[in-house]
Amino acid sequence: MEADITENSDNFHDALETLLLVVPTSFLTTIATFLTSLFFISHKRIALIVEFIILVIPNILIQTVWSEYVTDPIAIFYFLTSFTCITFFAYFCSWWRRPILPTRLTYSIKKDFITNCRSTVNLLSVIAILAVDFLIFPRHHSKTHKTGFSLMDVGVGLFVFANGIVAPQTRKVVDVRSKTIKGFVVLLILGFARLLLTKLINYSVSEIEYGVHWNFFFTLAFTKIICYYILHYIHIDHIFITACLITVVHETLIQLFFKRWVFDVHHRENLLDANKEGLVSTFGYVALYLFSICFNLTIRYRDRKFLITMRRFFFCTLFALTLTVYCNYHFNVSRRLANAGYVFWILFIGSLMSWLFFIAERGTRKMFHEKLKNYICVPHLYDAINFNGLIFFLVGNVLTGLVNKSVKTKLVNSVNSIWILTGYMFVNCFVVVVLKWKNMKIPT
């Protein structure tokens, strides 16, 4: 079904509401890790069911029937109070445990807070791509027509951010070139497969999202391959300057030419015109990907004091927020163009989410380190989603198409809509959990 496109006018309220739809997941993740560590560490199947109830179902409700309450001060107060009570409950449960032999609190190379952040992005995006087709999904959360803030607009940007913070160049990957090319080919195949399938079954797709033939898989493929060659020829110490230059040049071209070209709905006379949204926005996503790499390199905290890392998180978040406000005032924020305002808006949300997950991880380790021999900082469900993020997203797209072809979603009542979304997410989660257990992973 063709995605709903809206034009938002109240930028501040829409931006705040979008942020408050995303932030609660960090608190829900903390609750899930507390309960699993305390009661279900030896019962993975039960833990997965509990995590589905805590992580998935509330997010379905938050994006749909509960969305009108996310900016309600009373609802926020009750939510934070409940979280505080659960935290104290977990603390006292751990306090009564017999202490194990004290050891020095250390951190692995794997950053659990990044895993949580990436999995949250995947989870929220996959819920939204089907939820938007039901009447219970608020229209102002749909993708904007030209400029503005909405929940659906942040999905693709956060997906690029989530890929950038774990780019091969930030890790000790032996053969970056081989890995990048394999991922590029896989994404191209998926892009052409989606294009062919939508044409064969006459599946309606909005042209003003990416264009006539372009889709998200092409965007991600070319973003990664372009960034690979940039990082191949430019030293990683100069990536921030490079990202800034790309952003400035891209925004300049948008103001001079691209904005008028892309927003001209009648200008689709050739292949370039037909896919102008995808082509123009790709350069914005390249800048976002490079900024995400810089963010990862900046907040590396192994062998660094906690307060230093916290200070770096603060300045990264403040930097992104300040530039978002500035760009929105002068140029507006546009997902369709992936302009400077959109790039910094996504960086702000991504850095804030990462910061919250970092605090939660640190708190979990401090709470359980000398009390529990085995504890987790990443829910088992998130571990499975992170292991096969692209498969999770792909299965979500396929199931969305199947649901829309078999059900008239606009005629489904609220209760049945929630049941369909819950079943849809259960299948998605089941697939990645099984693949994780079998250690099967698609290269990206």
Q: Can you give the pLDDT at residue 109? A: 46
Please give, one letter per residue, the 3-state secondary structure of the chain.
Answer: CCCCEECCCCHHHHHHHHHHHHCHHHHHHHHHHHHHHHHCCCCHHHHHHHHHHHHHHHHHHHHCCCHHHCCCHHHHHHHHHHHHHHHHHHHHHHHCCCCCCCCCCCCCCCCHHHHHHHHHHHHHHHHHHHHCCCCCCCHHHCEECCCCCCHHHHHHHHHHHHHHCCCHHHCCCCCHHHHHHHHHHHHHHHHHHHHHHHHHCCCCCCHHHHCCCCCHHHHHHHHHHHHHHHHHHCCHHHHHHHHHHHHHHHHHHHHHHHHHHHHCCCCCCCHHHHCHHHHHHHHHHHHHHHHHHHHHHHCCCCCCCHHHHHHHHHHHHHHHHHHHHHHHHHCCCCCCCCCHHHHHHHHHHHHHHHHHHHHHHHHHHHHHCCCCCCCCCCCHHHHHHHHCHHHHHHHHHHHHHHHHHHCCHHHCCHHHHHHHHHHHHHHHHHHHHHHHHCCCCCCC
Over its length of 444 residues, how does the chain's per-residue pLDDT go in tens digits? 445 555 555 588 889 999 999 989 999 999 999 888 888 877 889 999 999 999 999 999 999 999 888 888 888 888 888 888 887 777 777 665 555 544 444 444 457 899 999 999 999 999 999 999 999 999 888 888 889 999 999 999 999 999 999 988 776 666 788 888 998 999 999 999 999 988 888 887 888 888 889 999 999 999 999 999 999 899 888 999 999 999 999 999 999 999 999 988 776 778 888 899 999 999 999 999 999 999 999 987 554 678 888 999 999 999 999 999 999 999 999 999 999 999 999 999 999 999 999 999 888 888 776 666 677 889 999 999 999 999 999 999 999 999 998 999 999 999 999 999 999 999 999 999 999 999 888 766
Report the 10 Å Cβ neighbour count for 337.
Answer: 26
Q: Can you give the pLDDT at residue 150? A: 92
**Distance from CA of residue 92 to its chain's centroid?**
33
- pTM for this predicted structure: 0.91
Q: Can you give the pLDDT at residue 101? A: 44
Q: Can you give the pLDDT at residue 106? A: 47
Q: Can you give the pLDDT at residue 172? A: 64
Domain extents in the chain = 5-100+113-437
CA distance to 9, 118, 208, 223, 254, per residue, from 161 (Å): 26, 9, 22, 11, 22
Q: Can you give the pLDDT at residue 4? A: 54
Interacting residues of 133 by C-beta distance below 8 A, sequence separation 6+: 1, 3, 400, 403, 404, 409, 410
Q: Where are the alpha helices (DSSP H) in 143-235?
A: 151-164, 176-200, 207-210, 216-233
